[in-house]
Amino acid sequence: RAWNFSAGPAALPQAVLERAQRELMDWNGSGASVMEQSHRGKRFIAMAEQAEADLRELAAIPDDYAVLFLQGGATQHFAQIPMNLAGEGERADYIVTGHWGEKAASEAAPYVAVNIAASGKAGQYRGLPPRESWRLDPRAAYVHYTPNETIHGVEFRDVPEVGEVPLVADMSSDILSAPIDVKRFGLIYAGAQKNIGPSGLVVMIVRRDLLARPGRPMAKIFRYAEHAAQHSMLNTPNTWGWYIAGLTFQWLKAQGGLAAMAARNRAKAEALYAAIDGSGGYYVNPVDPAARSRMNVPFTLRDAALDAAFLAESEAAGLLALKGHKALGGMRASLYNAVPMEAVQALVDFMADFARRHG
């Protein structure tokens, strides 16, 4: 298989795919695949409970937090979070550090009075807005932020201090890439398709007291408290996604857990940034070094006329999906958990060779 730097849906661990392949036709001695099982059956429920237990162990999730396996992608929850956490006439703070934070705020706007408490937009999202510029509202229903901005490649090193107001984090592109101090958050959510499994699954970790908030009038299917009460089986869940997520959690445990992943991810990112910064301006990453993402590394070539050659040659060399997001152009390498150091080394070697040949 090629090395896959896709921003999402992204590479999955080879071992997870191999196990899923082995089990595809006859899962767990059932005589049918996991996709063909009732979610109400004993086998599936045991697997689902084990996946939750493994995630709880990995991320040290306290008992006063519910874990939900939902659908709709992170985008649906941009809207569903305010429906659940904010009542009529309430306000919420948004810290916007890139494309996804902007989108979260705009999708929330029909349901809550959105206050952009801080924004990196004036600086083209090349760094985090300085803390002195934040205008947090102590009466906000919650504060929303995006710890890692997948497109702009901007990441918070630390969890921001926001006082008593519950902190809501869209961890779609950094969840499980390092240990998580769950107690600092009111609600964590993530589309699965980067660090967990296939798209179509959303993992949510939510403090139980927040589930008691009345929120807005809404159908049961939108209410997180209903999903929690029904163990994420209010309706048919994404059974395949849940199963692959469970395999990924087992894989992460076997790798040494989140601290081990954090060390690897740091080393991978350092190697790539060193190659970019050491290229004498041939490759450029514009992000403030204090806020550079460990997961998504956007970079441009000094000569954009070489972009097409870079993409064609990298793909031919077995390095996939390096094309940058259309908003920024250039290149982007995503270095999620399933991307090994070997892949980063292959990329760095290719970049040096490309620069030599086309310099």
148 carries a ligand binding annotation: no
CB atoms within 10 A of CB 88: 10
40 carries a ligand binding annotation: yes
64 carries a ligand binding annotation: no
Q: Is 357 exposed, middle or buried (0-12, 13-18, 19+ CB in 10 A)?
A: exposed
Block residue for tokens 């041939």: 282
- Rounded distance between C-alpha atoms, residue 324 and residue 284, angstroms: 13
Q: With respect to ligand PLP, which residue has the nearer C-beta, 10 or 344?
A: 10
Query: Closest approach of Cβ 132 to ligand PLP, in Å?
Result: 25
Q: Could you tell me the two tokens for 328?
A: 């920024």
- Rounded distance between C-alpha atoms, residue 146 and residue 168, angstroms: 9
DSSP state string for 92-144? EEEEE-SHHHHHHHHHHTTTSEEEEEEE-GGGTTSSPPPGGG----TT-S-EE
Query: Closest approach of Cβ 222 to ligand PLP, in Å?
Result: 16
Query: Closest approach of Cβ 2 to ligand PLP, in Å?
Result: 21
181 carries a ligand binding annotation: no
Query: Closest approach of Cβ 306 to ligand PLP, in Å?
Result: 27
Q: With respect to ligand PLP, which residue has the nearer C-beta, 8 or 129?
A: 8
Alpha-carbon radius of gyration of the chain: 21
Interface residue list for ligand PLP (CB under 6 A):
8, 73-75, 100, 146, 150, 170, 172-173, 191
239 carries a ligand binding annotation: no
User: How many CA atoms lie less than 13 Å away from 235 in the CB half-sphere?
Assistant: 8
Catalytic residue positions, numbered: 100, 170, 194
Q: With respect to ligand PLP, which residue has the nearer C-beta, 301 or 335?
A: 335
Contact 59, 205 (CB under 8 A): yes
Q: With respect to ligand PLP, which residue has the nearer C-beta, 73 or 123?
A: 73
Query: Closest approach of Cβ 179 to ligand PLP, in Å?
Result: 19
Q: With respect to ligand PLP, which residue has the nearer C-beta, 241 or 310?
A: 241
236 carries a ligand binding annotation: yes
Nearest C-alpha neighbor of 225 from the set 240, 215, 235: 215
Q: Which residues are annotated as a binding site?
A: 40, 74-75, 100, 150, 170, 193, 235-236
As annotated, the binding site for pyridoxal 5'-phosphate includes 74-75, 100, 150, 170, 193, 235-236
Question: Where is the binding site for L-glutamate, in residues?
Answer: 40
